[in-house]
Amino acid sequence: MIYWQLFLTFFKIGLFNFGGGYAMISFLQNEVVYKQAWLSTAQFTDMVAISQVTPGPVGINLATYTGYRTGGLWGALIATAAVCLPSFLLLILAGKYVFATRSTYPAAWRTLRLVVVGLIASAALTLCNAQNFVDCKSVLLCAGAFLAVCKLKRGPVTVLLVSAVLGFLLY
């Protein structure tokens, strides 16, 4: 029964999310923390952080971890396959049509880009809650990382590594 729930949940997540792993975060949290209660908010936040430094897309890493925690090795395999399956099927079924009509409907593509930005912003706001900012140091680390990426144009790998070292030293 748990395998079927994992498959349906992650298939739905893969089917209704556009824009990659970051755009998936708020939907993932809603499904695995609030609806299914497979992970706590703290576990979910930790997994988002770990997914940043491990190879592979964030959404797939989160699906794999949740599946493993919920149903062991088979749960991890099922959740990972389920979250990837809709994109794979859509790519095969609609690939030719999408490329053929891209120049015909440019406004639709601009709208989709804006929706993806909104989904990523939603994920950022979802992760910015009181449980993640435990003290002044954590707020300063977050603000510093934001400024490093947005103003100083530092790459995410550099910011993650520096933040990890600072977090280790501060905590």
Domain encompassing residue 68: 2-105
Work out how many domains the chain is built from and give that number. 1
Q: How far is CA 6 from CA 57, 59, 75, 126, 153, in A?
A: 19, 14, 7, 22, 39
117-150 burial code (b ≥16 CB/10 A, e <16): eebbeebeebbeeeebeeeeeeeebeeebeebee
What is the reported pLDDT for 88? 86
> Radius of gyration (Cα) for the chain, nearest Å?
18
Is residue 65 assigned to a domain? Answer: yes
pLDDT tens, position by position, 132-163: 777 888 888 888 998 998 899 988 889 989 98
Q: How many CB atoms lie within 10 A of CB 31?
A: 17
Kindly report the number of other CB atoms within 10 A of residue 49's CB atom.
15
This prediction has a pTM of 0.61
In a domain, 123, yes or no: no
